[in-house]
Structure 1
Amino acid sequence: MNIFFLYYTGTLSTTMIPYLLQVFAVLSLLCCSTTAQSYNDTNTLINDLMGTYTSKVRPVETVSEVLNISLTFYLSSIISFDEQEESLTTAGYLRIMWKDRSLVWQTSQYNGVAMMFVPQDDIWKPDISLRNSFSTFTGLGSSYQNVIVENDGTVYWDPFQVMKSTCSVDITYYPYDTQQCTIKLIAWSYLKSDVNLLSQSGIIKSHYSESSTWKLVKSTFQADNSEVASISYTLMLERKPRFYVFNMILPVILLSILNLFTFVLPLSSGERASYGITVFLALVVFLTIVAAEFPKNSDTTSHLAVWLILMVSISTLAVILTIIEARLLSRDDGNHEIGKFYRRFYGIVMFLQCRSCKSHVHRVKSKAATSKQSVMSSDTEDELYLDLKWKNITDAMDYVFFFGIVFFVILVTLIMLLTLIYNPDKVTEEYKSSQL
C-alpha cells in the first residue's frame, strides 16, 4: 500500500515499481519458509519416533516406576435404566492422559511440529475396561480412533463409549425412588505398582442431555489404587414420577372409589354382587398390566406394591360382605329370629346415626316407662325390637361397611403417598438448587 501511495504522490517512479515488488515477494517467501509445516515434516517425525517404538512395553524409564494416568468422564446421556434386569446404560467419552517417554521430540528439529495424531493401536495404552459390565467385557475405544501426542510426550486418548453396567435397584419408594449406580473402571492387566489411576474433575456434564425418565442430581468419583488400579464414578438418579402417577396411582385410586359405592347400591336390586365382582376384576386386570412394568425385586418391597395389594384385598372383602348381606336379606323374618348380636349391632348403628329407635321399631306400651331407664334387662331389650326386620340389619351393615372402608382407604392412601413423596432417600430441594 505504501508503494502505491508513493506512486500517486510522485515520489516513486514507474520504472522502480517492478523491482520493489520482486524484493517484497522474495522476503515473503523467506518468512513463510521458516514457519510453514509441511507433510514431510510430520511424516519424518512419525518415522523417527515410530521406527523403533513398540506398543508392548510400558513407557517408563525404570521398571519400578509407577505410571500415573489421569481420567475424566464426560457424560453425554443416560440411555436407559432397566429396573427389571438391574442395568444402567450410559453414553459418554473418557479423557485419558499419561506421559509416554518414548514419544518426546524437539519441535525445532521438525520445523515447529508440536503435535501429531497416531492410531490408538500403534502406541501403548492402558487396558482400561468396565469392571461391572452387564453383558460383554470389552476394552475402550476402537481401531479407527486416533490419539493426540504432544512433543513433551503427553498422550490424550478420548474413547467414546456406550457402557452398560450393573446397578442394584432399591424399589422401596418406587416411583419416587432414588437410585445410586456405580461405573467402575479398572486397569485390568496391571498392578498397583505399575499404573496409578487418578481423577481431578470427576464427571463433567457440559455435554450432558437430560433424560426424560431420570434426573441426575449428584455425581461423585473415587480412585482406589490399594489392590488394583481402579476408579469408580457414582451417579445418583432420581426418577421423574409424573408418568407413573397418571398411569398407575390415579387409576387404582379411582377403582378403589368404585369399591366404596358397592355399599351404596341397594342390596334388593340384585346387582350389588355383580357390581362388586366387576370392579374386582377390573382392578385385577389393571394390576396385571401394571405388574409387567413393575420392577421385579425380591430383596426389597415397594410401599406401592403393598398399597396395591391392600386395594385388591378391600375389593375382595367388599365382595365377601356383599354375599353375606345377600344371605341375611334372604332369610324369612318369621322363621329366622334376629339374634342378640344383630340387635345390639343395630342399636349401636342407630346411636351413631343419632336416630331414635322409635322411628324403626314398635315398642311395647306396657314397657314404655321402663325404656327410659339407662340400664335395661335382656327381656325388656328383646321386647323393644319385636318388629325388627333383616332388611334393617343389612341397611345398618351397609352404613358401617361404607364409612369403615372409606376411612380405611383414605387413611392407607394418604400414608402411602406421604411416605413415597417425603421418603428419607429423596434428595432435598436445597441440594438440587446448590447443584445448578
Structure 2
Amino acid sequence: MRNFLGLFLLITLLTIIPESIGQDVAAVLKKSLLSNYDKSLRPVKSVSTAVNVDFDISLRKVIELAEKAQTFRINIWLRLYWYDEYLRWNASEHGGVDSLTIHSSDVWRPDIFLYNNVAETYGAVEPITAVTVTSAGRVTYLQPAIFTSACPVDISRFPFDKQECILEFGSWAYTRERLNMSLVNPAADRQAFTHNVEWILNGVPMERKEALYSCCPEPYVSILLKLQLERRSFFYMFNMVLPCAILMILNVFGFYIPPDSGERLGFFITILLALVVFLQVLSSSLPKTSTTTPQLGQFFAATIALVGFSCLASIVVIRLSYSSPPSRPLPRWLRLLLLRYLARLFCMNTIAEEKHVDNTEKEGTNRSFDQKSQRNEEEADQDEWKMAALVLDRALMFVVGLASIIVCVMLLR
C-alpha cells in the first residue's frame, strides 16, 4: 500500500512541476520582453522599414440598415497579423516556450480606424482582447467589434432594392511608407455569419485602396469592406402590396355598382382613403428625399390616380344619367361612338338595337307641338342619354382594368 502511494505521489509531482516551471519561464520571458518595450513606437528597428499588416475580417451579423438615417451597423471580428521585431526570442533558451499571450494594451498595435464612422465614438479599434506572439515575432490580433458607418441608401427599387454598404478601414497616423496593409483573403469570412431576417447577404468582397489626401504628400492605405445586400420583399408584398392589389381589383369591380344607387361614389372614396393611409405608412419608414421615388410609392401613387379617375368617371356617368330637363338630343357623333361602335365592342348590342328601333319610329311619325308630344320627346332624349351613360360606364371600366394590369406589370417587376 505504501509503495502504491509513493508511486502515485511521484507521478503527480512529475506532472505538475514541468508545468509550473513552464509558467514561471513564460512569466519571466514576458517581463523581460516588456521591460524596455515602448508601445508608442513602430515595432521595427529601422526607421525606413514599413510595418506590413495583414488584414482579414470574419463577418458575424448585420445588425441594422436604417433607411431613414442612412446608417449601417454591423458586428465583425477583425483579424490583424504583423511582425514585431522587439518581441522575438530563442525558444530553446527559454524552456521551449514558443508563444506568449499578452494583452493588446501592452504592445504596439496598428491604429486602425473606420473612416466613414458615424457613431458617437471615433471608430477606433479598442484594445479589448489579448494578442498572441510567437518566438519569431509574429503577432496575431483577433478583435471583436461593432461598427456604425454611413451608407447611402438607394430606394428607387424599394422593396425590391439591392444596397451596397462600404466600410473603409485604415491607419490614421501612418502613411504607406510606415504602415502597409494587405489582404489575407479577397472576401470576408462568412462561416460564423448569422443570417438577417430583413436582408440577404449576396457577397462581401474586400479591396485594397491607396489614396492621396491634401494633408500629406504620401498615400494612405485603406481596406474597403463591401457588403452587397438584397432586401427580403415578402414582408412588404404581404402587408402592403397585396392589400393595395385587392383595393385595385375592387376599384375595377366598383363599376358594377349601378350609378343610380348612390353608393358607387362613396365606395370609390373609401378605397381612396385606404390607399392614402398605406402611402403615409410607407413614407414614414423611408428617407425624406426628393431625388427619387420608391417603386412601391409609385405603385401606390398610380393606384390612387386610378381610383381618382374612377371617381371622376362615376361623376360624369351619374351626370349623364340624370340630365335635368329640358334635355337636348344626344349629338350625332356621340350617338355613333357610344351607341353603335362602343356598344357593339363591349357586347351591349341590345342597347344599340333598341336605340335604332326608337329612331326609326321617331322618324316615321309626324312631330306635333302639343305638350304631350313634347314630353315624350324629352323622355326619349333622357333615355338616350342614360343608354349612352351605360355604354360609357362599361368602356371606362375596361380602361381602368387595363390600366391596372399595366401598372401591376410595370411596377411590380
TM-score range (shorter-chain normalised) is 0.7 to 0.9
What is aligned with 1:164? 148
1:296–1:37 Cα change, 3 Å: farther
Q: Which of these residues, 64, 89, 99, is aligned with residue 83 of structure 2?
A: 99
Matched, 1:348 2:341: yes
What is aligned with 1:239? 231
AA at the equivalent of 1:229: V
Matched, 1:276 2:268: yes
What is aligned with 1:395? 390
What is aligned with 2:297? 305
What is aligned with 1:428? none
| Shift of residue 406, structure 1, vs aligned partner | 0.4
What is aligned with 1:376? none
How far apart, CA to CA, are the structure 1 residues paired with 2:273 and 2:64? Answer: 33
Secondary structure at 1:189 match in 2? coil
Q: Which of these residues, 187, 191, 200, is aligned with residue 206 of structure 1?
A: 191
| Shift of residue 209, structure 1, vs aligned partner | 0.7
- Superposed, 1:109-188 pairs within 5 Å as 109-188=93-172
| Shift of residue 139, structure 1, vs aligned partner | 4.7
How far apart, CA to CA, are the structure 1 residues paired with 2:7 and 2:273? Answer: 99
What is aligned with 1:189? 173
| Shift of residue 147, structure 1, vs aligned partner | 1.5
1:337–1:131 Cα change, 3 Å: same
How far apart, CA to CA, are the structure 2 residues paired with 1:225 and 1:407? Answer: 55
Q: Which of these residues, 359, 367, 378, is aligned with residue 363 of structure 1?
A: 359
AA at the equivalent of 2:386: K
Given that 2:313 and 2:393 are in contact with CA atoms closer than 8 Å, whether structure 1 keeps it comes out as: no
Q: What's the RMSD between the two structures over aligned residues?
A: 2.7
What is aligned with 1:316? 308
How far apart, CA to CA, are the structure 1 residues paired with 2:238 and 2:279? Answer: 14
1:36–1:389 Cα change, 3 Å: same
How far apart, CA to CA, are the structure 2 residues paired with 1:366 and 1:391? Answer: 18
AA at the equivalent of 1:413: C
AA at the equivalent of 2:312: I
| Shift of residue 108, structure 1, vs aligned partner | 2.4
How far apart, CA to CA, are the structure 2 residues paired with 1:42 and 1:396? Answer: 97
AA at the equivalent of 2:403: F
How far apart, CA to CA, are the structure 2 residues paired with 1:391 and 1:28? Answer: 110
How far apart, CA to CA, are the structure 2 residues paired with 1:255 and 1:394? Answer: 25
1:233–1:144 Cα change, 3 Å: closer
How far apart, CA to CA, are the structure 2 residues paired with 1:46 and 1:353? Answer: 94
How far apart, CA to CA, are the structure 2 residues paired with 1:366 and 1:247? Answer: 58
Given that 1:197 and 1:225 are in contact with CA atoms closer than 8 Å, whether structure 2 keeps it comes out as: no
Unaligned 5+ segments in structure 2 are 212-218, 365-379
1:137–1:32 Cα change, 3 Å: closer
| Shift of residue 178, structure 1, vs aligned partner | 1.4
| Shift of residue 339, structure 1, vs aligned partner | 2.6
How far apart, CA to CA, are the structure 1 residues paired with 2:115 and 2:192? Answer: 24
- The TM-score with structure 2 as length reference comes to 0.86
Given that 2:298 and 2:411 are in contact with CA atoms closer than 8 Å, whether structure 1 keeps it comes out as: no
How far apart, CA to CA, are the structure 2 residues paired with 1:412 and 1:265? Answer: 23
Identity of aligned residues (%): 27
- What is the CA deviation profile of residues 319-346 of structure 1, one whole-angstrom value per residue up to 9, with x for unaligned ones? 1121222222221354333233432332
Secondary structure at 1:159 match in 2? strand
AA at the equivalent of 2:412: L
Given that 2:115 and 2:123 are in contact with CA atoms closer than 8 Å, whether structure 1 keeps it comes out as: no
1:402–1:127 Cα change, 3 Å: same
How far apart, CA to CA, are the structure 1 residues paired with 2:362 and 2:390? Answer: 29
How far apart, CA to CA, are the structure 2 residues paired with 1:37 and 1:131? Answer: 46
What is aligned with 2:372? none
What is aligned with 2:323? 331
How far apart, CA to CA, are the structure 1 residues paired with 2:231 and 2:128? Answer: 37
| Shift of residue 172, structure 1, vs aligned partner | 2.4
- What is the CA deviation profile of residues 385-425 of structure 1, one whole-angstrom value per residue up to 9, with x for unaligned ones? 9685221121111101111100110122112223xxxxxxx
How far apart, CA to CA, are the structure 1 residues paired with 2:8 and 2:298? Answer: 89
Unaligned 5+ segments in structure 1 are 1-13, 369-384, 419-436
- What is the CA deviation profile of residues 112-135 of structure 1, one whole-angstrom value per residue up to 9, with x for unaligned ones? 222222221211111101011122
AA at the equivalent of 1:42: A
What is aligned with 2:249? 257
AA at the equivalent of 2:131: V
AA at the equivalent of 1:364: T
| Shift of residue 364, structure 1, vs aligned partner | 2.3
Secondary structure at 1:108 match in 2? helix
How far apart, CA to CA, are the structure 1 residues paired with 2:319 and 2:201? Answer: 58
Bigger drift between 221-230 and 311-320 goes to 221-230
- The TM-score with structure 1 as length reference comes to 0.81
| Shift of residue 292, structure 1, vs aligned partner | 1.6
AA at the equivalent of 1:219: V
What is aligned with 1:215? 200
Secondary structure at 2:31 match in 1? helix
Q: Which of these residues, 395, 400, 404, is aligned with residue 399 of structure 2?
A: 404
Given that 1:115 and 1:151 are in contact with CA atoms closer than 8 Å, whether structure 2 keeps it comes out as: yes
| Shift of residue 353, structure 1, vs aligned partner | 3.2
Matched, 1:228 2:223: no
Secondary structure at 2:39 match in 1? coil
1:283–1:148 Cα change, 3 Å: same
1:98–1:388 Cα change, 3 Å: same
Secondary structure at 1:236 match in 2? strand
| Shift of residue 32, structure 1, vs aligned partner | 7.4
| Shift of residue 52, structure 1, vs aligned partner | 0.6
Bigger drift between 224-233 and 238-247 goes to 224-233
